[in-house]
Amino acid sequence: MKRFLLHVLFWSVYMAQDILLSYLWDTARLQDLPLSEQIIMAIGNSFAYLVPKLLFTYFLLYFILGNILNDKQQLWKNIVYILLSLLATLFLFRLTARYVTVPLIYRRLVAVPALLSPVGFLANLMDLGFVAGAAIFIKQLRLQLAGKEKEKILLKEKLETELKFLKNQTNPHFLFNTLNNIYALARKKSDSTPDVVMKLSKMLRFMLYESGKPFITIAEETMLIEDYLDLEKIRYNERLDISFKKEIDNIHQEVSPLLLLPFVENAFKHGISETRFNSFVNIELLLEKGVLHFNVKNAKENTGLASGDNKIGLCNVRRQLELMYRQFDLQVQDAEDSFSVHLTIQLNSHEKI
């Protein structure tokens, strides 16, 4: 229905300007007639040529244009079709002028045109070329815009799928690490095991019902980090020094879920768990006017293994940042006895995926 209305609108606009041009063209030789009769003749003249224009235009739009786009090898064949249809339409124009418009509409007040007049053919060719060219241009423009919109939708779906895949990798990664912690406590028959299981249940509930949202508040993300730190404190007891400093000017500032936790998780999984002495994790979170500064530094021992930046957690979160934010800076420093991550994000530069 929408396409039909667009076609009606196109032909209505075209006929309005064609009637005006026809009136202006004949006003000198019909100046003795009343204005109303001149307008009626202009309307009749325009509608007399409408059928040939419709036939030729829609022949090009739905037969020739489709063939050219779908089968470029038949180009010359389509050119022949265009020329034959153009000649047939121009001849129909001349027949209409000689046997319809002049005797019936203008009542022979103008000279009867020659059937094979070169000037007449040229005038009809310009008239026909204008309407057919305008219709083809609009159709191609609409197809191009529709193609870009389809491409945009496909790209959006691709990015959404990739982002979900990355988040789904992050969740099991965290779960495996925490289950290892519970396993270690269970082997020690630690009294803290029930508390760890309860906190894990709380965090998994968050991941199931909250992490699927496009945004959560920075307060929720911070609370998730604090719960994770509580789990690690139970596991490592006194041999680990944990510091978490935060300054937040707007606790309702929105942030993508599970964006910061992988950095903290990485500090324990690939740092503290492999460190025997002087273990520490220092975390600083500063949020000011929509700009987030997040720093994580942990102790490590030089084991000769690859940098933590190559671990699955940091690789995933780096890609998530690329997909979600236009303005961010992620710096990783792998020193001999420590590993640190410095993240700066303009949270209001979130991409609309």
Q: What is the pLDDT of residues 285-298, one digit of tens each?
A: 999 999 999 999 98
- pLDDT band, very low/low/confident/very high, at 308 (cuts 50, 70, 90): very low
Q: What is the pLDDT of residues 157-167, one digit of tens each?
A: 666 665 565 56
Q: What is the pLDDT of residues 52-97, one digit of tens each?
A: 999 889 888 888 877 766 666 677 887 888 888 888 888 888 888 8
pLDDT of residue 118: 81
Q: For the chain, what are the domain ranges?
A: 2-116, 153-349
CA dist., res. 112 & res. 118, Å (int): 14
pLDDT of residue 341: 92
The 8-class DSSP code of residue 291 comes to E
pLDDT of residue 309: 44
Query: Could you give the angle at which helices 2-26 and 118-187 cross, rounded to 10 degrees?
Result: 150
The CA-atom distances, in angstroms, between 221 and each of 38, 148, 224, 280 are 77, 37, 5, 22
Contacts of 27 (CB under 8 A, 6+ apart): 38
Q: Beta strands of 171-327 (E only): which ranges?
A: 216-217, 240-248, 254-255, 279-288, 291-299
**What mean pLDDT do residues 266-277 have?**
68
- pLDDT band, very low/low/confident/very high, at 310 (cuts 50, 70, 90): very low
**According to CATH, what is the number of the domain 153-349?**
3.30.565.10
- Residue percentage of the chain with pLDDT more than 70: 82
Max mean pLDDT among 45-54, 119-128, 191-200, 203-212 falls in: 45-54
- DSSP helix/strand/coil, 297: strand
- pLDDT band, very low/low/confident/very high, at 307 (cuts 50, 70, 90): very low
**What mean pLDDT do residues 215-225 have?**
89
- DSSP helix/strand/coil, 194: helix
- Residue percentage of the chain with pLDDT more than 90: 12
Position with higher pLDDT, 209 vs 86:
86
Which stretch of DSSP H or E encloses residue 225? helix 218-236
- Is residue 110 within 8 A of residue 26, CB to CB? The reply is yes
CA dist., res. 327 & res. 291, Å (int): 10
**What mean pLDDT do residues 112-130 have?**
81
